[in-house]
Amino acid sequence: MAQANQAAGAALPAADTFDRELWLKRALILLVSAWLVAVVILPLIQLLSKSLFDNHGVFVGLANYVEYFTTPELRRSIGNSVFVSVTTTVISVTLGFLFAYALTRTCIPLKGAFRGLAMMPLFAPTLLNGIALIYLFGRKGLITRGFFGAIPGFDIGLYGSTGIIISEVIFTFPQAMLILSVALRMTDARLYEASQSMGASRLRTFLTVTLPGVKYGLISAIFVCFILAFTDFGAPKVVGGQYNILATDIYKQVIGQQNFTMGAVVSVVLLIPTVLAFVVDRIAQRRQVALIQAKSVPLTPKPDKQVDGFYLAYCSFISLLILAFFATAAYASLVKVWPYKLELGLWHYQFRGTGGGGYGAFFNSVRMACYSAVVGTAVTFFSAYLIEKSRGMRALRQTSYFLSILPLALPGLVIGLAYIFFFNAPGWTFGGITIPNPFNWLYATMGILVLSNIVHFYSVSFLTATTALKQLDKEFETVSESLGVPFHITFFRVTVPVCLPAILEIAMYYFVNSMATVSAVIFLYSADIPLASVAIANMDDAGDIAPACAMSMLVVLANVAVRLLYGLLTRKVNRRTQAWTRR
């Protein structure tokens, strides 16, 4: 009997034991890893190695670093960068915490409106933060001149660290607020009841329950704010004046002095704290996972006249500031000659007589943002699906996961510069063998711009997709396998429709950020593909602040329009989803 069976086993046609699906998935995950290595690791290696060669391609070891650290003007930027980022972080996280607290733990009205207004800065290029500040606090600013001479004005000394810090606070505040809102919403109500039942004072409850409860959210917010402020380049470029920081140094070295080597050195210096922050944040996140899994009771805030009154005043104040900020920018973009001819009109929206590319640049940006949204969302979601929903191949999946969240640590400027080096290289020579660069054709095309955006905003999108996918039953794939249905059919028939809200969110995120970003693309755009955000920077350089402001407003408008479209689509999707869930 046993022999007969073995014979039968041996006679099995090979096709029956070959798991096509499994191999296909393996191949695809391998492909995902390979693509991430190609667009993240290899360019970074190229950047690192560039910093070890001189401008003529001669290997000089750490000589460039020695030169960097012995040049006082360059070295001073490190201290400056740290100073503005730390100050920004402290202010932003404090303001963001209060705002998030108001939205999650009090009974104030208009929460939706407050939240919406607080998120406004996410839709704007950071260059706009600088430009709006110039219109408020610059030499001819609204406040400096006391509302065109109506009241006595005062000069805050905008240019320099003050301007940078204010811009970065505006830029990072929404991020801190969002992260902390999530953390505050997750805390367990039972802890508060226990604390109150023991008669603990408000301060004591805050110190022993609230703060520890949001510990990981706080860590995350601190690092995100720090990294964003540390690596942002838009606002410091506009209002930094003579105050040098690392991000502007890279730009000056590369674009101003064509000193690519020193640009690479500064990039590596810029990378060190961001990579550190990334590592610490990852560790904190991992701890937090364990925290969420415990069953907790959501907290429902109780009305309290005094507390609600305070937070209502606070949120109104912050929202008004943000509103005033954008209103000033909008107004300034419409005024004929600030501050002398205050007639309103669309002069600056014609972009005549200024460089930058005008509407051509704007529509290039829209195109680029669309491509990034479509391609980026598809690639991100499918990769996250493969990594999250495959069986076995643990090592490979973990590697891919790590590679997917690594871009979180990479500032846009670093990506941009690394891409110049990597995609512009004609080829590489290892021990006498020259390999031509297979990606060289991408250089100076729309493709490289889209690619840099996808990589720049990859990690957050990837994490959004992974979170959504984790909520699906992990046996969906097994069931379809057992029914002999190929995984791609289940992917399109079940996974995608069920995850549609997350997919829309990712697409919106890609669009909005690609539209507003300047740091990566400023190194990569070519003269025949001008971009809106680059145009803003260039017009600002040329002193054409009003058109720069107008272009920024166009970017904001496009982003707000997409955000509204997203809201509409989401509502539609939710209505359909409710059809599945209506009892």
Partner 1 sequence: MTSTESETYLSVERVTKRFGAFTALSDVSFTARRGEFLSILGPSGCGKTTILRAVAGLEPQDEGVVRLKGRDVSTMPVSKRHVGIVFQSYALFPNLSARDNVAYGLRKDLKDRRALAERVDKLLALVGLEAAGNKYPSQLSGGQQQRVALARALALSPDLLLLDEPLSALDAQVRVMLRAEIRALTQRLGMTTIMVTHDQEEAMTMADRILIMNQGRLVQNGSPSDIYEAPASPFVASFIGSMNFVSGDMHWDSRTFHRGNLSVKIDRDVSPFGKEAVAAIRPEDIRVSTNGEAGPNVFEVEVDNVEYRGPVYRVTMRLPFGGGQTLPLVADITADQARRTGVSGRTRAKAILPADRVHLFRAEA
Cα end-to-end span (Å), the chain: 55
Cα distance between residue 348 and residue 340, in whole Å = 15
Residue number with CB closer to partner 1 (22 or 312)? 22
Binding of residue 8 to partner 1 (CB under 8 A): yes
Binding of residue 583 to partner 1 (CB under 8 A): yes
Positive or negative: CA dihedral 290, 293, 297, 301: positive
Single out the segment in contact with partner 1 by CB under 8 A; choices: 34-42, 107-115, 552-560, 572-580.
572-580
Binding of residue 572 to partner 1 (CB under 8 A): no
Whole-Å CA distances, 174 to 21, 78, 90, 561, 562 = 43, 26, 14, 19, 18
Which residues partner with 436 through β-bridges?
427
What is the x/- site pattern for partner 1, positions 484-513, by CB under 8 A? xx-------xx--xx---------------
Single out the segment in contact with partner 1 by CB under 8 A; choices: 19-27, 80-88, 133-141, 177-185.
19-27
Residue number with CB closer to partner 1 (339 or 501)? 501
Residue labelled with tokens 């430009």: 131
Binding of residue 471 to partner 1 (CB under 8 A): no
Whole-Å CA distances, 69 to 45, 266, 414 = 22, 10, 19
Cα distance between residue 560 and residue 124, in whole Å = 9
Residue number with CB closer to partner 1 (9 or 298)? 9
Q: Which tokens belong to 216?
A: 């990981």
CB 290, min distance to partner 1, A: 20
Q: Is 381 helix (H, G, I), strand (E, B) or coil?
A: helix
Among 483, 527, 543, 575, binds partner 1 (CB under 8 A): 483
Single out the segment in contact with partner 1 by CB under 8 A; choices: 4-12, 46-54, 510-518, 523-531.
4-12
Residue number with CB closer to partner 1 (22 or 182)? 22
Residue number with CB closer to partner 1 (575 or 583)? 583
Residue number with CB closer to partner 1 (123 or 487)? 487
At CA 16, angle to CA 13 and CA 18, rounded to 5?
110
Among 6, 55, 94, 258, binds partner 1 (CB under 8 A): 6
Q: Is 252 helix (H, G, I), strand (E, B) or coil?
A: helix
Burial (CB < 10 A; 0-12, 13-18, 19+), residue 160, is middle
266 alpha carbon, distance to own chain's centre: 21
Among 188, 308, 481, 541, binds partner 1 (CB under 8 A): 481
Among 193, 304, 473, 528, binds partner 1 (CB under 8 A): 473
Cα distance between residue 180 and residue 98, in whole Å = 9
Q: What's the residue count for the chain?
A: 583
> Which of 414, 416, 456, 422 is CA-nearest to residue 439?
422
Binding of residue 12 to partner 1 (CB under 8 A): yes
Residue number with CB closer to partner 1 (286 or 391)? 391
Q: Are 437 and 426 in contact (CB under 8 A)?
A: yes
> Which of 541, 373, 392, 372 is CA-nearest to residue 478?
392
Single out the segment in contact with partner 1 by CB under 8 A; choices: 72-80, 181-189, 360-368, 574-582.
574-582
Size of the site for partner 1 (CB under 8 A): 35
b/e burial code for range 338-372 (CB count within 10 A of at least 16 → b): bbeeeeeeebbbebeebebbbebbbebbbebbbbb
Residue number with CB closer to partner 1 (34 or 489)? 489
Q: Are 333 and 348 in contact (CB under 8 A)?
A: yes
Residue 224 identity: V
Binding of residue 482 to partner 1 (CB under 8 A): yes
CB 283, min distance to partner 1, A: 24
Among 196, 257, 478, 574, binds partner 1 (CB under 8 A): 478
Binding of residue 54 to partner 1 (CB under 8 A): no
Residue number with CB closer to partner 1 (295 or 305)? 295
Residue 174 identity: P
Residue number with CB closer to partner 1 (203 or 483)? 483
CB 8, min distance to partner 1, A: 5
What is the x/- site pattern for partner 1, positions 58-97, by CB under 8 A? ----------------------------------------
Binding of residue 16 to partner 1 (CB under 8 A): yes
Residue number with CB closer to partner 1 (116 or 497)? 497
What is the x/- site pattern for partner 1, positions 385-414, by CB under 8 A? ------x-----------------------
CB 321, min distance to partner 1, A: 44
Residue number with CB closer to partner 1 (19 or 54)? 19
Who's near 381: CB < 8 A, 6+ residues apart?
465, 496, 499, 502, 503, 506
Binding of residue 19 to partner 1 (CB under 8 A): yes
Burial (CB < 10 A; 0-12, 13-18, 19+), residue 583, is exposed
> Which of 109, 67, 120 is CA-nearest to residue 324?
120
- Using CA atoms of 559, 564, 568, 574 in order, give the dihedral in degrees to the nearest 10: 80
Which residues partner with 428 through β-bridges?
435
> Which of 131, 487, 108, 154 is CA-nearest to residue 310?
108
Residue number with CB closer to partner 1 (15 or 433)? 15
Among 197, 293, 429, 581, binds partner 1 (CB under 8 A): 581
Q: Are 222 and 93 in contact (CB under 8 A)?
A: yes
Residue number with CB closer to partner 1 (293 or 581)? 581
CB 482, min distance to partner 1, A: 5
CB 388, min distance to partner 1, A: 16
CB 571, min distance to partner 1, A: 17
Residue 40 identity: V
Binding of residue 343 to partner 1 (CB under 8 A): no
Question: How crowded is residue 575: how many other Cβ atoms within 10 Å of its Cβ?
Answer: 9
Residue number with CB closer to partner 1 (2 or 290)? 2
Residues near partner 1 (CB under 8 A) are 1, 4-6, 8-9, 12, 16-19, 21-22, 391, 473, 475-476, 478-485, 493-494, 497-498, 577, 579-583
